[in-house]
Amino acid sequence: DTGVSQNPRHKITKRGQNVTFRCDPISEHNRLYWYRQTLGQGPEFLTYFQNEAQLEKSRLLSDRFSAERPKGSFSTLEIQRTEQGDSAMYLCASSARTSGTGELFFGEGSRLTVL
Amino acid sequence: DAKTTQPTSMDCAEGRAANLPCNHSTISGNEYVYWYRQIHSQGPQYIIHGLKNNETNEMASLIITEDRKSSTLILPHATLRDTAVYYCIVSKTSYDKVIFGPGTSLSVIP
């Protein structure tokens, strides 16, 4: 399967713990995006990268959230000191300028439950 | 980026055409109209996009009004598998971040 891969698919943690999600984009896609989605809402933009450079972070992204894409390939999203309000689906997407339609390709998401 | 307005929900009978409207009255000349859909518990999936002209692919047709202030996504023969949330998005470039609204929840009824 050459699609966007996210791990883990499900994570249950206690409040105050740190969690990390990994996203492996489609090979050679230079852009990678992170979104968060809660029940009944559309995906909310968090941040995105072009290669290893983080181009934009949503002002809604608190200091407890950090994302990296160290070698311009996979990316990690870390949440420190989790809160119950962090419970959501975390979606990763990738895209490439060489793609004719320029669309985003999404992974299946990582569902976080904070107890 | 321009904002979009979509109905919260719609029903469609199986086998009939589903017509999903979207208003984007503040769209600017260099903004594309994109449509994505999200089936329950999956990531969003690209459907189609256009700038000025109507577009058709194997999944759907996109009709954009001449003034570009609104568009309609048409699923010609809806099936139960088309039950999903459909998002209409306006974006300046093909590769810019995509801002999602709440979308339209389409239910295809047997």
The pLDDT profile of chain A, 115 residues, written as one tens digit per residue, is 579 999 999 999 999 999 999 999 999 889 999 999 999 899 999 999 999 999 999 987 889 999 999 988 999 999 999 999 999 999 999 998 665 567 899 999 999 999 9
Cα B39 from Cα A20, distance rounded (Å): 25
Query: pLDDT averaged over chain A?
Result: 92
Q: For chain B, give the mean pLDDT.
A: 92
Using 50, 70 and 90 to split pLDDT, how confident is the model at B84? very high
Q: What is the mean pLDDT of residues B54-80?
A: 96
pLDDT at B92: 78
Smallest CA–CA distance, residue A91 to chain B, in Å, is 7
What pLDDT is recorded for position B95?
Answer: 64
Is-contact B58 B49, C-beta < 8 A? no
Task: Supply the pLDDT for residue A101.
Answer: 67
The pLDDT of residue B18 is above 90 = yes
Question: Among B86, B35, B25, B30, which Cα is nearest to B56's?
Answer: B35
Nearest to B74 by CA among B103, B47, B46: B47
Residue B94 confidence class, pLDDT cut points 50, 70, 90: low
Q: Do B49 and A101 touch (CB under 8 A)?
A: yes
Instruction: Residue A101: count other Cβ atoms within 10 Å of its Cβ.
Output: 13
d(CA A20, CA B15): 44
Quick check: B78 pLDDT over 90? yes
> What contacts 24+ positions apart, CB below 8 Å, involve B25-31?
B25/B69, B25/B70, B26/B2, B27/B2, B27/B68, B27/B69, B27/B90, B28/B2, B28/B92, B30/B92, B31/B1, B31/B2, B31/B90, B31/B91, B31/B92
Q: What is the mean pLDDT of residues B9-22?
A: 97
**Is A4 an 8 Å CB contact of chain B?**
yes
Confidence class for position B30, pLDDT limits 50, 70, 90 = confident
pLDDT computed for residue B1 by the predictor: 57
The whole-angstrom distance between B16's CA and the closest CA on chain A is 26
Averaged pLDDT for residues B69-79: 97
**Does A43 contact chain B (CB < 8 Å)?**
yes
Does position B2 have pLDDT exceeding 80, yes or no? no
Residue A42 to residue B49, Cβ atoms within 8 A = no
CA-to-CA dists, residue A68 to A34, A83, A102, B16, B73, angstroms: 11, 21, 23, 46, 36
pLDDT at residue B93 is higher than 90: no
